[in-house]
Structures are given as structure tokens and as C-alpha cells.
Amino acid sequence: MRVGENLNRALHGLLADDPSVYVLGEDLLDPYGGAFKITKGLSTRFPDRVLTTPLSEGAVVGAASGLALAGGKAVVEIMFADFVALAFDQILNFAAKSVTMYGTRVPLPLVIRCPSGGHRGYGPTHSQSPQKHFIGIPGLSLFEMSPFHDNRAVLDRMLALGEPCLLFEDKVLYTRRMYEVDELFRWDLVDDVAVVRLDPGGPGGSGMSRGDAGPGGLEIPDGDLDYVLIVPGGLAHRALAAMRALLLGHDLAGVLLVPSRLYPFDPSPLLPILGRAPLVCVAEDGSAGGTWGGHVAADLHTRLWGRLRRPVKLVHSADSVIPTAAHLEREVLVQESTIRRAVLEGLGDSSAP
Amino acid sequence: MRRLLAFQEVFLVLERPMDRLSDDDLALLLLIRCFERKLLALFEQGELNGTTHTCLGQEYIPVALRTLLREDDWVFSNHRGHGHYLARFEDPEGLLAEIMGRKGAVCEGVGGSQHLKRDRYLSTGVQGQSLPVAAGVALRLKRHEPGALACAYVGDGTWGEGAVYEALNLAALWRLPLLVVVEHNGIAQSTPTALQLAGTIEGRARAFGVEHHRIGVPDIPVIRAGLAPLVERVRTDPGPLVVEFATHRLGPHSKGDDTRPPDFPRTDWYAAYRAAHPVQSATIEEAARTRIDRIAAEVAARPPAVWTAA
């Protein structure tokens, strides 16, 4: 199943199971079904609770907050994550604050879905990964879609938090397959973090092998732990491609960690493995400066001071707008090669290409 | 007596002696007035932290609306909301404790003067922000509690915010039971209407096909009689209604920041009322002042508010 279909089914299931849920957004009525077709079929099946809206991101998020305040639950689709800037006041100054600023906790079950990321040639205002602008807002949680996390479970978790959540959805994931890694790797879930590592069965084992790892899930032999990559879901495939190249070309074995929730991000369960790794590298699609990775690195430096062997290596897009032309866009955004190079540089390999 | 004080094209008219009010209405009006006066006095004495915005001169608006709103209606207030709160709950103790950060505060001292929530009453401190939220609440009410409405108080300055128009559009498109009460006092903080509002609020409402009703008198029975059928229609045949009150802010925007010239219009309904009904006014005002003095002393002696639910 494709990731986009998994998300579409998750929304169908959510609306079917919970009559208090509304879905609001621009152009999401059938037959169009949303700019990325994620809301396909919803308006036909649930016409009363799937509402197409004017081009009014601020009011739509505000109205969704109102529905949530008055006993409902709301899922908002922002057509492109770039446009969530138009709802910033409602998110920062109303939805997130309302959870705590009235003295007692006010539940506000609200999910704002933000199709993010580039590699599609949409240019500077339709390609951004604006996660970093929402880090550190009290009462606001950030999640990112991944090929390893079932979207229904993620939606249920966000709504159960009773506070506004942003769900970033890298557009290129919509057409990728759920749950698949290539034959070199296997993956497990440790809490909400997908852990991808060398398949101990080696090539020929099942690339789709998975299971809940349990307490032993992070027991990875030193020989399989040359580095750890931490990336949001949108970077999972580029990270896996880099891991494959590092293994086959440099005999370096890494572990990939893909958390579902980006903020607040609690690395506690991961500290044993992070403390043992020769290199920790955090990669993301946002532009340079004030990044999610910078936030994670500061946290890890503090928690693992004296154990980390090197500074946490950070990978992010360039300090630049995102150009439209494919060759220019490629230079600005994080590629498989960017991650591969960063790991080699981080490990002190001066021959890094 | 006839006085006509104009700014822009909005008038508050006191063209005849004000009709006698019920003791209850007058007591609530004067409770609000004495509360606000007390706040300014406490500020001068250095007893209050932060800032506050008093509604002196505008007290009659929420008091008039009090009997038109129901308990199951939601009320969204703004930065100048003490009168709105007191008219709904008559809880000067809780409000003063909130503003002074004392035990018994409505919101544990976290929200302060302009961020209050109690039951279906909620205020926020960013202009225009509440209208989309009120629209969402109105949608939920329309579906689940038909007959109830969402009422949002805004000022004339609020009409500079884009959120107002996005929300009006939604409310008109979705036929939401949304009552927008505009307290047009002619001054947005320090900026007179003529410098910040092109056209009229009526014209802006009508551009969305939204009904607009102007009120230019401070007489509560007149206001209620005129509004009752309109508010009832919002409930039974849902759709937004903008009610624009021409009113006057007697005091500063917050405290000590009034830069208006002495001849800037400031009609005080209470001066007119006291002239027409001196005995009733004096008796009830004395009772309100005594009550607020007692509450202020009692609240000031309380321990600090404790915020437990961070």
C-alpha cells in the first residue's frame, strides 16, 4: 500500500469511527479530493463533516479550533505546508495557548496536516519544510508522516493528546510504499521511533521484516553501529539510500531512527545506542539556521556529554530559497549524497566524495 | 437635554432624559463602573501588575445584551472585556483575583485581564482572532445545539484585521448563528477612526451579505426591544448578524495613555442617567462602591494564586 493511500484510509476510518470528527480544507470535495488526493472519497461518504473552505487558512484553523473547543475534533488540510504561515496567529496565539493559558487544561483536539517538502519543482513558496518555525511552542506538538508509522495510529495519538498538532507530510512519500525497506535492512518500532538496521539474516532475508522490538530492540552489536542517523519521515528513503551506499561502498553499517513525533522529542529510550555510536547525524529538509537538528543536537550534547565521541553532525538544506528548476533545486535540498557525505566527513574520512 | 456628539458617521445620541432602569440593571451597570474605577485606583497605588483596559462608558452594552443571551450561548470577549465578564457572571471577586493574581482567580492568574475562560465564556488578547474561532463554535452549535449562538465582541479597530473578513465570509457561506457585537468607540488605542477605517463597518458587513444593525443610544430598554427579534432570528434562521454600537470610551486605552484632546467626544451615559434619576443612582452607586471596596480589600489580602495545571 502507498503511504498516501494509508493516510486516505486513516481519514476514512477516523470519520467512520468518530462522529465528532470534522475534516476541513481547500478543494477537498470529490471528485477533486484535495490537491494531493488524500481526502478522496471523504466528502462523498461524510458530506456533513467534510467541509470545503475558502482560501482562508487563518479562519479555517480558527474555526477548527472552535469546533474542538465546543466538543468536536478537527483535522485541517493545508494545501501546501508553506501556507500554514497564514494560520500562524491562530496556531501560536490561540490554539496552542488555549490549552494552558486559562489556568486549567482546556482540551483542543486539532490536527493540522501540512504537505511539505520539495523535489517536485514547485518552487520557493510550494516546497518548504517549515517544521522549524513551530518548534518550542508550548501546547503544540509536531509530527511527521513516515513510511513506517501507520497514519491511523498517528492520527488517533494526536487527537488523544488534546492539544493542537501539526502533521508534516513530505509529498514525495504519498506515492512510496508503506513499511518497505530494501533487503539489506530490517526495521522495528521502539516506542514511536522506527529503528532501521542491518538485517541480521543478511541479504535474502525479508526486507519487510518488522516487529515490535521490545526492550531488546536496541541491542545492536558494535560491529553494526558505525553511525546513527536521525531523520524525520520525509527523509527516510534518502537516508536508506545513503546507508546502502555507505555499506556497499565504505563497509560502514549504520542505524536509522525515524521518530513520529518531532517535538517534543524525547531521546531517552535512544540514549544507550546514541551513546555508543561513533557518530550521530541528524538530517532534515528545512533550510539552515534554527533547525530541528540543532535543537536535537543541543539536547544530545547535554545528555551525552562525555560519552559522545564526536559532535552531532547536522544535515539540512542550504541557506536559500528553493529554486524551481530541477538542477537548481537539487543543489539546495538534501540528497542521498548529502547524507552520505556528511557521515563520511563526520567519521573523519577525508576521502569523502 | 439634547446633545449630539459625532465622530466619523457614528453617533451616540442622548436626545432625551434616559428612561428609568430596573434596579437590577442599574446595579450591574454601576458594579462594572465601580469595578473599573477601582482598577485604575489600584494601578495608581501600584497594587496591580501588568496592564488592563477598562470599559468605562461602554458598560451598558453587555448589560443590555445580558437578557438577550442564554446560558448555552458562547461569548467571545476581547481585551476590553471586564464588563462582558461581569455582565455574564456577576463575579467581581473572581475577576479581581485574576487581575491581582490572588487565590480564587478565574484562571489561576495565568490569563489575567484579557485571557479569561469560564464555561462558555472566553476572551483572547489578539485582535480579530476570536471571530474565526466563534464561527467554528457556531458551526458546532448549529449542528448539535440548534437555537444557541456564538456572540463575539469586537471593537472598531478590530476591523483592520483580515481574520474578521475571513470569518464573516465563512459565517455567511455556512449560515452560522454568529452575533458580532461591535463596540465602536471611535478610537483604536490612540488612533481615531478617521485614520484607520476606510468606508464603514456597515458597508463591510453588507459586502458579505451580512445583516448589520446600528445602535446609537445607550438606553437599555430601547436597545433590547430593537435587538430581541434580530437576535431571535439568528437562533431560528441561522446566519451572522453584525450589531454596531456607537459608544464612547471614557477612560484611557489602558492606563495613563489617553492622548485625546479635551474636546474629543466622550458622552457618558451615566452622567445623563444620574441627572434624570438622582435618588436611585445615588443609592445604588453607593452600594456598588461599598461592595467593590470591600471586595478589593478582601481579595488583596488573599494568598497568591497557585497554577497547578501547567
Sign of CA dihedral A281, A233, A156, B122: positive
The pairing of strands B187-188 and B191-192 is antiparallel
CB contact under 8 A, B132 and A60: yes
CA dist A70 and A73 (Å) reads 9
Name every residue whose Cβ is closer than 8 Å to that of residue A212 and which is 6 or more positions away in sequence. Answer: A188, A189
CA dist A235 and B208 (Å) reads 45
Sign of CA dihedral A38, A44, A45, A48: positive
Task: Tell whether A43 is within 8 A of chain B (Cβ).
Answer: no
Q: Is the pLDDT of residue B7 over 60?
A: no
Q: Could you give the angle at which helices A236-250 and A336-346 cross, rounded to 10 degrees? A: 50
Say which CATH architecture domain B3-14+26-300 belongs to.
3-Layer(aba) Sandwich (3.40)
CB B92 within 8 A of CB B86: yes
CB contact under 8 A, B167 and A62: yes
Task: Tell whether B109 is within 8 A of chain A (Cβ).
Answer: yes
- Quote the pLDDT of residue A222: 85
Question: By CB neighbour count within 10 A (0-12 exposed, 13-18 middle, 19+ buried), where does B46 fall?
Answer: exposed
CB contact under 8 A, B109 and A103: yes
Amino acid identity, position B119? D
CB contact under 8 A, B132 and A58: yes
Name every residue whose Cβ is closer than 8 Å to that of residue A47 and which is 6 or more positions away in sequence. Answer: none
How does pLDDT run across B8-26, given as a tens digit for each residue?
A: 455 677 778 899 999 999 9
How does pLDDT run across A212-263, given as a tens digit for each residue?
A: 444 445 678 888 899 999 999 999 999 999 999 999 999 999 999 999 999 9
CB B171 within 8 A of CB A60: no
CA dihedral B305, B307, B308, B309 (to 10 degrees): 140
Does A126 participate in catalysis according to the annotation?
yes
Looking at this predicted complex, what is its ipTM?
0.94
Amino acid identity, position A92? L
Residues of chain A with Cβ-Cβ distance to B152 below 8 Å are none
Residues of chain A with Cβ-Cβ distance to B150 below 8 Å are 66
CB contact under 8 A, A63 and B170: yes
- How would you write the pLDDT of chain A (353 residues) with one tens digit per residue? 999 999 999 999 999 999 999 999 999 999 999 999 999 999 999 999 999 999 999 999 999 999 999 999 999 999 999 999 999 999 999 999 999 999 999 999 999 999 999 999 999 999 999 999 999 999 999 999 999 999 999 999 999 999 999 999 999 999 999 999 999 999 999 999 999 999 877 654 444 445 444 444 567 888 889 999 999 999 999 999 999 999 999 999 999 999 999 999 999 999 999 999 999 999 999 999 999 999 999 999 999 999 999 999 999 999 999 999 999 999 999 999 999 999 999 999 755 55
User: If you count them, how many residues does chain A have?
Assistant: 353
Give chain A's domains with CATH numbers: 3-175 (3.40.50.970), 185-346 (3.40.50.920)
Task: Tell whether B111 is within 8 A of chain A (Cβ).
Answer: yes
CB pairs under 8 A between A and B: 122
Task: Tell whether B2 is within 8 A of chain A (Cβ).
Answer: no
Dig out the grid coordinates for A325 from the structure.
528548476
Of the candidates A56, A74, A90, the beta carbon closest to that of B169 is on A56
Task: Tell whether B240 is within 8 A of chain A (Cβ).
Answer: no
CB contact under 8 A, B169 and A59: yes
Residues of chain B with Cβ-Cβ distance to A70 below 8 Å are 74, 136-137, 140-141, 144
Tell me the pLDDT band of B148, cut-offs 50, 70 and 90: very high
SS3 state at A336: helix
CA dist B276 and A111 (Å) reads 56
CB A73 within 8 A of CB A118: no
- Quote the pLDDT of residue A214: 47
Mean pLDDT of chain B: 93
- Quote the pLDDT of residue A289: 97
